[in-house]
Amino acid sequence: MSQYKVQPGPEAFLSPSAASMGIVLPDPGEAHIEGTIVPEEEAFEEAARKFLAAKVPTIFPGPLVLWHWNENAAKQATAIRKLANAIPARLIPMADYRPKYPKIDPEVEINPNHPNLTIWHNKIDVCIFVGVHCHQANLALKIIRGGTNCYTMAMCAQAGHEDACLSFRDASVEKIERLTAAVLKLKSEGVESQAEEFTQIKLNRQGRIA
Protein backbone atom coordinates (compact mmCIF):
# COMPACT_ATOMS: atom_id res chain seq x y z
CA MET A 1 0.00 0.00 0.00
CA SER A 2 1.44 3.39 -0.92
CA GLN A 3 1.82 5.82 1.95
CA TYR A 4 -1.07 8.20 2.57
CA LYS A 5 -0.11 11.87 2.21
CA VAL A 6 -1.59 14.55 4.42
CA GLN A 7 -2.15 17.14 1.74
CA PRO A 8 -4.43 20.15 1.37
CA GLY A 9 -8.01 19.26 0.47
CA PRO A 10 -10.78 19.48 -0.33
CA GLU A 11 -10.50 15.80 0.45
CA ALA A 12 -14.01 14.71 1.34
CA PHE A 13 -16.91 15.70 3.51
CA LEU A 14 -15.68 13.21 6.08
CA SER A 15 -11.95 13.07 5.50
CA PRO A 16 -10.30 10.10 7.20
CA SER A 17 -8.18 10.77 10.26
CA ALA A 18 -4.56 10.59 9.16
CA ALA A 19 -3.80 8.16 11.99
CA SER A 20 -6.28 5.68 10.54
CA MET A 21 -4.39 5.92 7.26
CA GLY A 22 -1.14 4.86 8.92
CA ILE A 23 0.42 8.26 9.65
CA VAL A 24 2.46 8.21 12.86
CA LEU A 25 3.67 11.04 15.05
CA PRO A 26 7.27 12.30 15.12
CA ASP A 27 9.66 11.55 17.98
CA PRO A 28 11.31 14.41 19.90
CA GLY A 29 13.60 16.40 17.61
CA GLU A 30 11.54 15.41 14.58
CA ALA A 31 8.53 16.78 12.72
CA HIS A 32 6.37 15.52 9.87
CA ILE A 33 5.76 16.91 6.43
CA GLU A 34 2.64 15.53 4.77
CA GLY A 35 2.99 12.44 6.94
CA THR A 36 6.67 11.77 6.34
CA ILE A 37 8.86 12.02 9.44
CA VAL A 38 11.72 14.50 8.94
CA PRO A 39 14.38 16.14 11.15
CA GLU A 40 12.88 19.23 12.75
CA GLU A 41 15.29 21.57 10.92
CA GLU A 42 13.91 20.49 7.55
CA ALA A 43 10.37 21.26 8.72
CA PHE A 44 11.32 24.75 9.90
CA GLU A 45 12.61 25.58 6.43
CA GLU A 46 9.62 24.01 4.68
CA ALA A 47 7.16 25.87 6.94
CA ALA A 48 8.96 29.15 6.28
CA ARG A 49 8.84 28.51 2.52
CA LYS A 50 5.13 27.72 2.65
CA PHE A 51 4.45 30.93 4.55
CA LEU A 52 6.44 33.09 2.15
CA ALA A 53 4.84 31.52 -0.91
CA ALA A 54 1.30 32.04 0.41
CA LYS A 55 -1.11 34.75 -0.67
CA VAL A 56 -2.90 34.82 2.66
CA PRO A 57 -0.57 33.33 5.28
CA THR A 58 -2.35 33.20 8.61
CA ILE A 59 -1.53 32.33 12.22
CA PHE A 60 -4.33 30.96 14.40
CA PRO A 61 -3.33 31.43 18.06
CA GLY A 62 -5.43 29.37 20.45
CA PRO A 63 -6.46 29.78 24.10
CA LEU A 64 -3.16 28.46 25.45
CA VAL A 65 -1.29 31.46 24.07
CA LEU A 66 -4.05 34.09 24.00
CA TRP A 67 -4.89 33.88 27.69
CA HIS A 68 -2.32 34.97 30.22
CA TRP A 69 -2.57 31.90 32.43
CA ASN A 70 1.16 31.78 33.08
CA GLU A 71 4.31 33.69 32.17
CA ASN A 72 5.22 31.24 29.43
CA ALA A 73 1.94 31.95 27.64
CA ALA A 74 2.78 35.66 27.56
CA LYS A 75 6.24 34.90 26.17
CA GLN A 76 4.76 32.69 23.46
CA ALA A 77 2.32 35.46 22.56
CA THR A 78 5.25 37.85 22.11
CA ALA A 79 7.06 35.32 19.93
CA ILE A 80 3.93 34.78 17.82
CA ARG A 81 3.52 38.50 17.23
CA LYS A 82 7.15 38.64 16.04
CA LEU A 83 6.56 35.71 13.70
CA ALA A 84 3.46 37.43 12.27
CA ASN A 85 5.45 40.61 11.66
CA ALA A 86 8.35 38.74 10.07
CA ILE A 87 6.29 36.83 7.47
CA PRO A 88 4.00 39.09 7.39
CA ALA A 89 0.93 37.02 8.31
CA ARG A 90 -2.55 37.69 9.57
CA LEU A 91 -3.38 36.86 13.17
CA ILE A 92 -6.84 35.39 13.67
CA PRO A 93 -7.59 34.10 17.17
CA MET A 94 -9.35 30.95 18.31
CA ALA A 95 -10.21 32.35 21.73
CA ASP A 96 -12.36 29.47 22.90
CA TYR A 97 -14.10 26.38 21.59
CA ARG A 98 -17.80 27.17 22.08
CA PRO A 99 -19.74 26.48 18.91
CA LYS A 100 -20.50 29.94 17.56
CA TYR A 101 -22.30 29.21 14.33
CA PRO A 102 -23.97 31.25 12.88
CA LYS A 103 -22.86 34.26 14.89
CA ILE A 104 -19.16 33.97 14.17
CA ASP A 105 -17.42 36.89 12.50
CA PRO A 106 -15.12 34.94 10.16
CA GLU A 107 -13.04 37.99 9.42
CA VAL A 108 -11.69 38.24 12.96
CA GLU A 109 -12.06 34.83 14.58
CA ILE A 110 -11.94 31.10 13.94
CA ASN A 111 -13.82 28.33 15.72
CA PRO A 112 -12.85 24.65 15.78
CA ASN A 113 -16.38 23.50 15.04
CA HIS A 114 -16.56 25.32 11.71
CA PRO A 115 -13.05 26.56 10.88
CA ASN A 116 -13.82 26.31 7.16
CA LEU A 117 -15.95 29.48 7.43
CA THR A 118 -12.91 31.56 8.38
CA ILE A 119 -10.69 29.90 5.78
CA TRP A 120 -13.25 30.46 3.02
CA HIS A 121 -14.09 34.01 4.01
CA ASN A 122 -10.48 35.20 4.05
CA LYS A 123 -9.28 32.88 1.26
CA ILE A 124 -6.53 31.59 3.56
CA ASP A 125 -4.13 29.32 1.69
CA VAL A 126 -1.52 28.57 4.40
CA CYS A 127 -2.10 28.56 8.13
CA ILE A 128 -0.54 27.45 11.39
CA PHE A 129 -2.27 26.50 14.63
CA VAL A 130 -0.46 27.35 17.82
CA GLY A 131 -1.76 27.08 21.37
CA VAL A 132 -4.86 25.09 20.49
CA HIS A 133 -5.67 22.07 22.67
CA CYS A 134 -5.04 18.82 20.78
CA HIS A 135 -8.58 17.47 20.46
CA GLN A 136 -9.90 20.78 19.14
CA ALA A 137 -6.95 21.18 16.77
CA ASN A 138 -7.51 17.67 15.41
CA LEU A 139 -11.17 18.42 14.81
CA ALA A 140 -10.43 21.73 13.08
CA LEU A 141 -7.54 20.33 11.00
CA LYS A 142 -9.74 17.54 9.67
CA ILE A 143 -12.57 19.88 8.79
CA ILE A 144 -10.16 22.19 6.98
CA ARG A 145 -8.60 19.29 5.06
CA GLY A 146 -12.06 18.02 4.26
CA GLY A 147 -13.59 21.19 2.88
CA THR A 148 -10.88 23.66 1.85
CA ASN A 149 -7.63 23.78 -0.10
CA CYS A 150 -5.68 25.37 2.73
CA TYR A 151 -2.23 24.01 3.68
CA THR A 152 -2.33 23.44 7.42
CA MET A 153 0.53 23.45 9.90
CA ALA A 154 0.59 22.83 13.64
CA MET A 155 2.96 24.05 16.33
CA CYS A 156 1.85 21.46 18.84
CA ALA A 157 2.82 21.59 22.51
CA GLN A 158 2.49 17.82 22.83
CA ALA A 159 3.38 15.04 20.40
CA GLY A 160 2.33 16.70 17.12
CA HIS A 161 -0.70 16.49 14.84
CA GLU A 162 -0.93 13.86 12.17
CA ASP A 163 -3.94 15.68 10.70
CA ALA A 164 -1.90 18.76 9.80
CA CYS A 165 0.00 18.83 6.51
CA LEU A 166 3.09 19.77 8.53
CA SER A 167 3.52 19.46 12.26
CA PHE A 168 6.08 20.32 14.88
CA ARG A 169 5.96 18.87 18.38
CA ASP A 170 6.92 20.13 21.86
CA ALA A 171 6.17 23.74 20.94
CA SER A 172 8.01 26.36 22.97
CA VAL A 173 9.01 30.00 22.76
CA GLU A 174 12.31 28.85 21.36
CA LYS A 175 10.66 26.84 18.57
CA ILE A 176 8.43 29.73 17.53
CA GLU A 177 11.56 31.89 17.43
CA ARG A 178 13.35 29.27 15.30
CA LEU A 179 10.49 29.42 12.81
CA THR A 180 10.79 33.22 12.71
CA ALA A 181 14.54 32.87 12.18
CA ALA A 182 13.90 30.43 9.30
CA VAL A 183 11.58 32.98 7.66
CA LEU A 184 14.12 35.79 8.07
CA LYS A 185 16.92 33.60 6.72
CA LEU A 186 14.99 32.77 3.55
CA LYS A 187 14.13 36.43 3.13
CA SER A 188 17.79 37.39 3.50
CA GLU A 189 18.54 34.87 0.74
CA GLY A 190 16.14 36.71 -1.56
CA VAL A 191 12.91 34.73 -1.12
CA GLU A 192 10.13 37.30 -1.15
CA SER A 193 6.81 37.10 0.58
CA GLN A 194 3.95 36.63 -1.89
CA ALA A 195 1.38 37.79 0.66
CA GLU A 196 -1.37 40.10 -0.55
CA GLU A 197 -1.39 43.55 1.04
CA PHE A 198 -3.32 43.66 4.30
CA THR A 199 -3.54 45.53 7.53
CA GLN A 200 -3.39 43.53 10.73
CA ILE A 201 -6.83 43.59 12.33
CA LYS A 202 -7.08 45.56 15.56
CA LEU A 203 -10.07 45.42 17.86
CA ASN A 204 -11.20 47.12 20.98
CA ARG A 205 -14.38 46.68 23.01
CA GLN A 206 -16.38 48.66 20.48
CA GLY A 207 -15.24 46.60 17.50
CA ARG A 208 -12.72 46.97 14.68
CA ILE A 209 -10.40 49.92 14.79
CA ALA A 210 -8.06 48.77 12.00
Q: CA-CA distance, 146 to 49, in Å (whole number)? A: 23
Binding flag, residue 206, other proteins (CB under 8 A): yes
Q: Sign of dihedral through CA atoms 200, 156, 40, 18? A: negative
Asked if 204 interacts with other proteins (CB under 8 A), we say yes
Stretch that binds other proteins, among 40-48, 116-124, 168-176, 195-203 (CB under 8 A): 195-203
Query: How many residues at the interface with other proteins, by CB under 8 A?
Result: 34
Peptide bond into 102 cis (omega under 30): yes
Taking CB under 8 A as the rule, does residue 4 contact other proteins? no
Among 81, 121, 133, 187, binds other proteins (CB under 8 A): 81
Closer by beta carbon to other proteins, 16 or else 63: 63
Q: Which is nearer to other proteins, 43 or 176 (CB)?
A: 176
62 lies in the site for other proteins, by CB under 8 A: no
The three-class DSSP label of residue 184 is helix
Q: How far is the CB of 179 from other proteins (least distance, A)?
A: 16
b/e code 182-202 from CB counts within 10 Å (16+ = b): bbeebeeeeeebebeeeeeee
Q: Does 78 bind other proteins (CB under 8 A)?
A: yes
Among the residue ranges 34-42, 70-78, 162-170, 185-193, the one whose residues contact other proteins (CB under 8 A): 70-78
Side chain identity at residue 61, one-letter code: P
Residues 116-155 that bind other proteins (CB under 8 A): none
CA count, 13 A, side-chain hemisphere, 111: 14
Q: Tell me the window of 10-18, 49-57, 90-98, 150-158 that interacts with other proteins (CB under 8 A).
A: 90-98
Q: Give the sheet arrangement for strand 57-61, strand by strand.
A: 36-39, 30-33, 166-168, 151-155, 126-130, 57-61, 90-91
